[in-house]
Structure 1
Amino acid sequence: MEDAHTATLKLLNKKGYSYFGVYDGHDGESVAKYCGNNLHTRITKDAQFETNLVAAIQNGFLGTDDDLKNDPQFQIDPSGCAGAAVMAIVTPNNEIYVGNAGNSRAVLSEDGIACQMSDDHKPVNPGESKRIQDASGFVEFGKVNGTLALSRAFGDFEFKQTPNLPPKNQIVTAYPDVKMAETKFKSTEFLILACDGIWDCLSSQDVVSFIRKNISENKDLRKVCEDLMDRCLAKDGELGGIGCDNMTIIVVGFLYNKTEKEWYEWMAERYGKKGPEYVE
């Protein structure tokens, strides 16, 4: 288990902003933990945070990766951050900004319908494959240079050494895609952030429906997350494969001035009336 995560309802000195992030590590946990401790600070302190949040998120990702590259501790540390990072900032204006670099995923539940807020960055994706090849890399067996199963990540600096190319255009990059959505009082239920260990096992809609079903059974989100990971875990982990990868999940419920008790009651009442029910 090499993941890290961040969840803060009050983002540093930014009144009304909340931040959530999941960081999926590989070959060690150090880079994932570094991102968990520092990425939100890097984004928040960016000069464009108040005026251009998309640019601040992009700058924060690349800046954090540059900090790692120049940190003597990590120059001899091979650990990367597979699935790198998926994070969300909720603004005082009821907007959600999601930044993603890697194969983790963010999904919004709107009336029980899964609305994907990020795209999985896999080497076989046409845009990712083109960037890799333009930077003198190749895709083999669905992996970057035959070894790395995702095309965007923090660390992994051996894939970021093509001369005369900016960080955004390297074989592997920490540059994120950023998507924005406005939350809606009557339909936006919750946001899911999870690493690929979850999505390897269940679809976006399956996860949304599973969470809604379990809430309708009077389980709180802590128990729901535990049950979801139990559902995804392989029964036998000796051989690896599906159900044996890192698993981290955050579920963010949107209260809209409800109490937590009222929100759970609202969610339970909606299950079976709006959105598909969960089918095992």
Structure 2
Amino acid sequence: MEDAHVHLLELENDPTSAYFSVFDGHGGSHVAKLASRYLHKQIAQSEAYLQGRISDALIEGFLDFDERMLEDDGLKDVSGSLAVPLSIDHKPSNEEESKRIFAAGGWVEFNRVNGNLALSRALGDFAFKTNKNLSAREQIVTACPEVETCTITEEHEFIILACDGIWDVMTSQEVIDFCRTRLASGSSPDLICEQLIDNCLSQDCDLNGLGCDNMTVILVCLLQGRSPEDYLKQLQKNVTTRAGATNEEIFSTPSHSPPTAVVQEADIDSELIVPVEHCPTETETISMEQSVEEETNEIFEEDQLAEKDGTDGTEGTD
């Protein structure tokens, strides 16, 4: 298992902040494990973080952590790890990423950096950071993260972080819909993570490779000071009255209670998305409302029957 993750409901030196990361290890797990253990400490102890400049703290933390690893002779040849903030893919085929790669003396072949690495930002991978005339941000492969800020409001329900073992199989919207429907039906976050991975697993890894990669997913329910029971009631109301509409971004819609994190792994790489609600027209709302309410009621009825039978009534693996 090359992936690593960390989920902290409280930072050691800042109990008011939570921290969640998924690190997609490639060619080895060492850097991913180091990042999961120490990167958040590097960020939280930085001067920028102490001054409340969170975006700067994230950028400085990644670069400083990468530099510290570079100074360790035992790590110079270790393959790296990628943490992708939000849903932006840092791939060599991306126009802005390829500009930096070419400017640093690299090239892109078969959508890989120098024909080798399938990503363009990573911790480690020091073989791509050897140009002494360029800053750390300008190297062929850089550890500098792309930071986006999103203010969490009552309209945000949950956060999903997952590696590309998930995203190669399902779209962001499909994942959001998958999790949201099951949360509203009363399924536990850990069961939903398990079902999501099962849904992505391939029954035959001899085909095109999809569904055969390492898979890690974190589902963070944004309770926001309310009880899990109140969170569930509000989520069910949202799904019924607003047709459960969600779009690809970084948080889902309303929820309530202190942040809860659940992690599920499978050995078979990372993106953070937040669903933002689609705003249907009045006509759409009227036409969609009844069908969603009926669907939700069916789910609840199935769950009740399953409880009587002693079985799990939620959808399993295809």
Give the TM-score category using the shorter length: 0.7 to 0.9
Task: Look up the equivalent residue of 1:189 and give its one-letter code.
Answer: E
How far residue 238 of structure 1 moved from its aligned partner, in angstroms, is 4.2
Aligned counterparts of 1:32 and 1:240: Cα–Cα separation in 2 = 26
User: Where does 1:57-96 land on structure 2 (aligned, <5 Å)?
Assistant: 57-76=58-77, 78-81=78-81, 84-86=82-84
Structure 1 counterpart of 2:10: 10
Aligned counterparts of 2:202 and 2:67: Cα–Cα separation in 1 = 36
Asked whether the 8 Å contact 1:80–1:155 carries over to 2, the reply is yes
Structure 1 counterpart of 2:114: 145
User: Where does 1:89-238 land on structure 2 (aligned, <5 Å)?
Assistant: 100=85, 117-185=86-154, 187-238=155-206
Aligned counterparts of 1:190 and 1:68: Cα–Cα separation in 2 = 33
How far residue 273 of structure 1 moved from its aligned partner, in angstroms, is 3.1
- Identity among equivalent positions (%) equals 43
Task: Look up the equivalent residue of 2:109 and give its one-letter code.
Answer: E
Structure of higher CA gyration radius: 2
Asked whether the 8 Å contact 1:212–1:268 carries over to 2, the reply is no
Structure 2 counterpart of 1:49: 49
Task: Look up the equivalent residue of 1:131 and give its one-letter code.
Answer: R
Structure 2 counterpart of 1:91: none
TM-score norm. by structure 1 comes to 0.83
How far residue 239 of structure 1 moved from its aligned partner, in angstroms, is 5.4
Asked whether the 8 Å contact 1:197–1:244 carries over to 2, the reply is yes
Selected match of 2:210 from 236, 239, 242: 242
Aligned counterparts of 1:38 and 1:272: Cα–Cα separation in 2 = 42
Cα RMSD of the aligned pairs, angstroms, is 1.8
TM-score norm. by structure 2 comes to 0.74
Aligned counterparts of 2:70 and 2:109: Cα–Cα separation in 1 = 26
- Give the length in aligned residue pairs: 246
SS of the residue 1:177 aligns to: coil
Asked whether the 8 Å contact 1:6–1:37 carries over to 2, the reply is yes
How far residue 155 of structure 1 moved from its aligned partner, in angstroms, is 0.9
Please list the CA deviations of residues 41-70 of structure 1 after superposition, one character each: whole Å capped at 9, or x if unmatched: 000000110321111100100111111111
Asked whether the 8 Å contact 2:106–2:140 carries over to 1, the reply is yes
- Stretches of structure 1 lacking an aligned partner (at least 5 in a row): 87-99, 101-116
